[in-house]
């Protein structure tokens, strides 16, 4: 529990302080709680018609978390998770009960999208412009803006030629059309990332035929417990022994895990034939490749399609309990390891010129992850535009603060994505500690605004850029959502969890211009 040990009224009772939090997902709710505990006036503005963010929006069949549920949990709000990797509805219930229990629901304005946030140099306030689902526009002033919009909130449907001519339903996994009955249908599933691999088995069971379009083969991480309930003894331990819960939570700091990641990702000399020091990455590649090949000994036709040609870790390694390959082997499933060229009224054309007729197209094609804070228009000091400043290279100090955008703090911002070397909820708690310390500084010093110093930002940016280049998602130049259009990672945290804790312990006043 890292709740503030102070309230606004303890420090500056006469001062008004209003905070706008954009987004009512895991991050926004967490920030809301901290504001409440600090006695600060706050509003959570949510574009959707319920709270929960990603766990409200993604309702495709068998959508579930891919880190252990008892790690993907606020440290101070444990839950009696029924399975190792809980399904979307269970996580949604967790977030709802969190919000209800902490009195956050009344602070959330639903169906309202933030279109712009403009900083006024004179009043030193943000004007947050919103539009609701009836077209009602508003502009409200706030002292502080907290972006809690997430990274994977803008579904990406590729611009495939002819898509608008397709006669049947076509939709993204994050915008599931529950009115579609797959029975008796021939379905195309485009994309074999985490979403595609999760939804594919359910589609194969429901549809008459499933055609899976795989552009790049995924590595699969053997996880036998993926769809299993947690045994009662384990649940008892997690419920009753806080130390047991903490062990899991803080295992991210175990040198073993960090060492493994570092060794597996630092080597710049891939491919393996030219490798000098990538023994662990290579070991991992062999293990994961054997895992795949072991499942298709009877199917050489599949074997040649499912082996990735990039180093493990360059893209997300996907949890698997054997279900994926079982699905690919089904009689009603066809795996097309070929690009999608175009779509016509009745089906999909592959790059090889084959026409595959389908009734429904499901896009598991990911998100516009690098478009941080889009499509909001954010203007800071001197009318500076955030997206013009960033270009395609979004960067914020520890993912949180940007020079010339005073009193604006991002949660789960640029370069805070994680593989083995952290835990998104733990990082989020670090971010809110930082946010609260910034607010405390403003209250204690009587200043109205704090803007990150350029030199502090630049030093940080250099470190992150250099370290990103050493990680597998950087040096391998593998195409993935970890990278932007120019191949730079604006998504992943390239350093250790220790470094993140150290850097977010407090918003150091000397790192800021206070006005
Ligand atoms: O998206 P992705 P995702 N033609 O970008 C393919 C989280 N998540 O939604 O690899 C054909 O990973 C693309 O191919 P390629 C998790 O962090 C979590 O699956 O670019 N194919 C790829 O196969 C995850 O990492 C859970 O060559 C096209 C796929 O579409 C993140 O979300 C569950 C294409 C996109 O994969 C994103 O995963 C699900 C085209 N034109 C997701 N364009 C949980 O556990 C793209 N592809 C909560």
- 447-481: pLDDT as tens digits: 999 999 999 999 999 999 988 888 888 888 888 88
Q: Residue written as tokens 């990797």?
A: 85
Residue 498 has pLDDT above 60, yes or no: yes
| CB 358, CB 188: distance < 8 Å | yes
Question: Tell me: the pLDDT tens digits for 103-138?
Answer: 999 999 999 999 999 999 999 999 999 999 999 999
The verdict on the CB of residue 313 being under 6 Å from ligand 1 is no
Question: Tell me: the pLDDT tens digits for 212-262?
Answer: 999 999 999 999 999 999 999 989 998 899 888 887 777 666 554 554 454
> What is the whole-number distance in angstroms between the Cα of residue 173 and the centre of ligand 1?
10
Pick from 336, 286, 344: nearest CA to 311: 286
Residue 272 has pLDDT above 50, yes or no: no
The verdict on the CB of residue 412 being under 6 Å from ligand 1 is no
The verdict on the CB of residue 27 being under 6 Å from ligand 1 is no
> What is the whole-number distance in angstroms between the Cα of residue 365 and the centre of ligand 1?
5
pLDDT at 496: 85
Local structure of 320: helix, strand or coil: strand
Q: How far apart are the first and last CA of the chain?
A: 32
Residues 6+ apart with CB under 8 A from 79: 69, 70, 73, 94
For ligand 1, atom 44, name the residue with the nearest CA: 65
Model confidence, pTM: 0.94
The verdict on the CB of residue 66 being under 6 Å from ligand 1 is yes
Rounded CA separation 95/276 (Å): 47
Q: Using most ligand atoms within 8 A of CB, pick from 67, 71, 191 the residue to mutate for ligand 1.
A: 191
pLDDT at 253: 62
Is the interface score ipTM higher than 0.95?
Answer: yes
DSSP state of 230: P
Q: Residue written as tokens 């949660």?
A: 411
The verdict on the CB of residue 198 being under 6 Å from ligand 1 is yes
> What is the whole-number distance in angstroms between the Cα of residue 232 and the centre of ligand 1?
34
| CB 240, CB 233: distance < 8 Å | no
For ligand 1, atom 7, name the residue with the nearest CA: 194
The verdict on the CB of residue 317 being under 6 Å from ligand 1 is no
Range of weakest confidence among 333-347, 404-418, 466-480: 466-480
The verdict on the CB of residue 195 being under 6 Å from ligand 1 is yes
Phi, psi (deg, nearest 5) at residue 342: -160, 170
- For residue 173, the ligand 1 atom closest to its alpha carbon is 9
The verdict on the CB of residue 191 being under 6 Å from ligand 1 is yes
Per this entry, what is the length of the chain? 515
Report how far apart, in Å, the C-alpha atoms of 10 and of each of 6, 38, 210, 508 are: 6, 9, 62, 21
The verdict on the CB of residue 340 being under 6 Å from ligand 1 is yes
Tokens of 300: 């050489």
The verdict on the CB of residue 117 being under 6 Å from ligand 1 is no
Q: Using most ligand atoms within 8 A of CB, pick from 54, 89, 365, 480 the residue to mutate for ligand 1.
A: 365
The verdict on the CB of residue 422 being under 6 Å from ligand 1 is no
Pick from 423, 427, 388: nearest CA to 411: 427
The verdict on the CB of residue 146 being under 6 Å from ligand 1 is no
Rounded CA separation 294/313 (Å): 21
The verdict on the CB of residue 481 being under 6 Å from ligand 1 is yes
Residues 6+ apart with CB under 8 A from 198: 60, 62, 63, 64
- For residue 194, the ligand 1 atom closest to its alpha carbon is 19
Give the burial string for 43-57 (b: 16+ CB within 10 Å, else e).
bbbbbbebbbbbbbb
Tokens of 395: 């960067």
Rounded CA separation 510/515 (Å): 13
- For residue 216, the ligand 1 atom closest to its alpha carbon is 27
> What is the whole-number distance in angstroms between the Cα of residue 296 and the centre of ligand 1?
23
Report how far apart, in Å, the C-alpha atoms of 323 and of each of 67, 289, 290, 299 are: 17, 16, 16, 16
> Going along 165-304, which residue ranges are E strands?
170-172, 186-190, 209-213, 220-222
Helices 232-240 + 242-250 axis angle, to 10? 90
For ligand 1, atom 9, name the residue with the nearest CA: 366
pLDDT at 388: 97
pLDDT at 251: 66
Best-predicted range by mean pLDDT among 272-281, 362-371, 442-451?
442-451
For ligand 1, atom 16, name the residue with the nearest CA: 194
Tokens of 87: 């399904």
Rounded CA separation 279/143 (Å): 51
Q: What is the mean pLDDT of the chain?
A: 92
For ligand 1, atom 5, name the residue with the nearest CA: 366
The verdict on the CB of residue 30 being under 6 Å from ligand 1 is no
> What is the whole-number distance in angstroms between the Cα of residue 95 and the centre of ligand 1?
24
Question: Tell me: the pLDDT tens digits for 16-27?
Answer: 999 999 999 999
Range of weakest confidence among 343-347, 389-393, 475-479: 475-479
Pick from 277, 273, 270: nearest CA to 313: 270
pLDDT at 415: 95
| CB 487, CB 438: distance < 8 Å | no
- For residue 191, the ligand 1 atom closest to its alpha carbon is 30
| CB 31, CB 2: distance < 8 Å | no
The verdict on the CB of residue 223 being under 6 Å from ligand 1 is no
The verdict on the CB of residue 413 being under 6 Å from ligand 1 is no
- For residue 85, the ligand 1 atom closest to its alpha carbon is 45
Residue 274 has pLDDT above 60, yes or no: no
Range of weakest confidence among 47-51, 247-251, 312-316, 337-341: 247-251
- For residue 174, the ligand 1 atom closest to its alpha carbon is 9
pLDDT at 254: 59
pLDDT at 184: 97
**Which alpha helices (H) appear in 23-113, and where do they start and end?**
26-37, 54-57, 88-101
The verdict on the CB of residue 193 being under 6 Å from ligand 1 is yes
Rounded CA separation 239/80 (Å): 6
Helices 279-294 + 255-265 axis angle, to 10? 90
pLDDT at 283: 83
Q: Could you tell me which residue, 68 or 89, shows the higher pLDDT?
A: 89
If you write DSSP's letter for every residue of 439-508 in order, what string do you get? HHHHHHH--S-EEE-HHHHHHHHHHHHHHHHHSHHHHT---STTS-TTS--SSB--S-HHHHHHHHS---
Phi, psi (deg, nearest 5) at residue 370: -80, -10
> What is the whole-number distance in angstroms between the Cα of residue 155 and the centre of ligand 1?
10
Range of weakest confidence among 1-15, 222-236, 272-286, 370-384: 272-286
């Amino acid at each position: 529990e890292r709740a503030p040990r102070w309230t606004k009224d303890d420090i500056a009772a006469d001062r008004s302080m209003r905070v706008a939090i954009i987004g009512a997902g895991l991050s926004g709710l967490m920030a809301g709680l901290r504001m409440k505990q600090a006695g600060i006036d706050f509003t959570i503005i949510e574009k959707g018609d319920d709270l929960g963010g990603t766990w409200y929006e993604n309702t495709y069949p068998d959508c579930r978390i891919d880190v252990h549920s008892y790690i993907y949990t606020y440290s101070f709000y444990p839950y009696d998770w029924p399975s190792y990797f809980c399904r979307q509805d269970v996580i949604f219930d967790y977030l709802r009960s969190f919000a209800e229990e902490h009195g956050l629901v009344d602070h959330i304005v639903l169906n309202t999208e933030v279109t712009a946030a403009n900083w006024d140099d004179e009043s030193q306030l943000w004007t947050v412009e919103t539009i609701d689902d009836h077209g009602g526009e508003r502009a409200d002033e706030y002292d502080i803006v907290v972006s809690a919009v997430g990274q994977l909130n803008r579904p990406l449907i590729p611009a495939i030629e002819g898509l608008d001519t397709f006669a049947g339903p076509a939709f993204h996994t994050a915008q599931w059309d529950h009115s579609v009955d797959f029975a008796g249908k021939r379905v195309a599933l485009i994309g074999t990332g985490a979403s595609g691999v999760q939804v594919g088995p359910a589609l194969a069971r429901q549809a008459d035929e499933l055609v899976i379009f795989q552009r790049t083969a995924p590595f699969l991480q053997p996880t036998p417990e993926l769809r299993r309930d947690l045994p009662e003894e384990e649940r008892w331990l997690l419920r009753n022994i806080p130390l047991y819960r903490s062990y899991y939570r803080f295992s991210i700091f175990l040198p073993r895990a960090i060492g493994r990641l570092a060794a597996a990702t630092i080597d710049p000399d891939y491919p393996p034939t030219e490798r000098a020091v990538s023994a662990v990455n290579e070991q991992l590649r062999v293990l994961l490749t054997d895992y795949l090949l072991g499942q298709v000994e009877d199917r050489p036709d599949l074997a040649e399609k499912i082996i990735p040609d990039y180093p493990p870790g360059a893209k997300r390694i996907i949890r698997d309990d054997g279900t994926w390959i079982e699905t690919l082997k089904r009689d009603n499933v066809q795996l097309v390891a070929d690009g999608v060229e175009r779509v016509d009224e009745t089906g999909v054309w592959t790059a090889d010129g084959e026409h595959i007729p389908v009734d429904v197209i499901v896009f598991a094609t990911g998100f516009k992850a690098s478009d941080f804070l889009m499509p909001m228009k954010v203007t800071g000091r001197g009318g500076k535009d955030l997206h013009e400043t960033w270009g395609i290279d979004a960067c914020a100090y520890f993912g949180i603060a940007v020079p010339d955008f005073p009193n604006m703090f991002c949660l789960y911002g640029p370069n805070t994505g994680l593989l083995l070397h952290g835990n998104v909820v733990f990082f989020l708690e670090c971010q809110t500690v930082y946010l609260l310390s910034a607010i405390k500084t403003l209250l204690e010093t009587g200043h109205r605004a704090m803007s990150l110093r350029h030199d502090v930002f630049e030093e940080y940016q250099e470190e992150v850029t250099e370290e990103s280049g050493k990680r597998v998602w950087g040096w391998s130049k593998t195409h993935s959502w970890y990278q932007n259009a120019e191949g730079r990672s604006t998504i992943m945290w390239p350093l250790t969890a220790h470094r993140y804790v150290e850097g977010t312990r407090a918003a150091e006043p000397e790192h800021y211009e206070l006005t």
